[in-house]
Amino acid sequence: MSVRGESIAVTDAPWHIPSRGRVGMYCLIVAESAIFTIFVAAYVFYIGKSLSGPTPREILHVPILSTICLLSSSLTIHWAMAALRKGKTVGFSVFWFITFVLGAIFIGATAREWHHLIYQEGFTIQTNLFGSTYYALVGLHASHVIAGLIGLTIVMILALLGKVKREHSERCEVLALYWHFVDAVWVIVFTTVYIVGR
């Protein structure tokens, strides 16, 4: 009728188990990576297989500036976390805000690119295989950036209200992991779409 666990002689060895937040996020990253793998495989498989134009070389411009922004946001969020771990909440807020701005610039650039493609070039998801795979892969990544930006915004609001302290660094770290993942995926997507596929 009761727990008999206490009758087991307890060892004195300290008991360490990993943080569930991190493990959970790593799991999510594994699952998301599998999703991206399938979309990248479809993209690569369909390179050059469209039956009609336009081709990537005709209409795609390499988004160098927004890529630099997104990749450097990994650095700024890293600095933000380093500041938070030392308890420097102001430094944290500043770097966190810069991260948000860099991410927002990236997503704005994607929006402009899509607007140009759809309204000037008349290139949509229905145009050809290239259109289907391009909008699906870049859109899938963009939706992840948007999800990350929403997370960043929530933490930013909490930080402005003075609610983010040193003891929350573990939780912010989980979100930062996701952001690093989103950046790393962009390296793959960028290489696939703008270098290999073009």
Instruction: List interacting residues with another protein (CB under 8 A).
Output: 1-11, 15, 17-20, 23-24, 27-28, 30-32, 34-35, 37-39, 42, 45-46, 49-51, 125-126, 128-129, 131-133, 135-136, 140
CB-nearer residue toward another protein: 22 or 163: 22
Minimum CB–partner distance for residue 12 and another protein (Å): 10
d(CA 186, CA 105): 14
CB-nearer residue toward another protein: 4 or 57: 4
Contact 106, 147 (CB under 8 A): no
Measuring CA to CA, which residue among 159, 142, 62 is closest to residue 105?
142
Residue 13: which H helix or E strand, with range? none
Contact 190, 40 (CB under 8 A): no
CB-nearer residue toward another protein: 26 or 97: 26
Minimum CB–partner distance for residue 140 and another protein (Å): 8
CB-nearer residue toward another protein: 10 or 150: 10
Minimum CB–partner distance for residue 20 and another protein (Å): 4
Length of the chain: 198
CB-nearer residue toward another protein: 20 or 57: 20
d(CA 131, CA 178): 28
Tell me the helix, strand and coil percentages in the chain, rounded to 5.
75, 0, 25
CB-nearer residue toward another protein: 15 or 119: 15
61: its two tokens: 């411009």
Minimum CB–partner distance for residue 124 and another protein (Å): 8
Minimum CB–partner distance for residue 73 and another protein (Å): 25
Contact 143, 41 (CB under 8 A): no
Minimum CB–partner distance for residue 196 and another protein (Å): 18
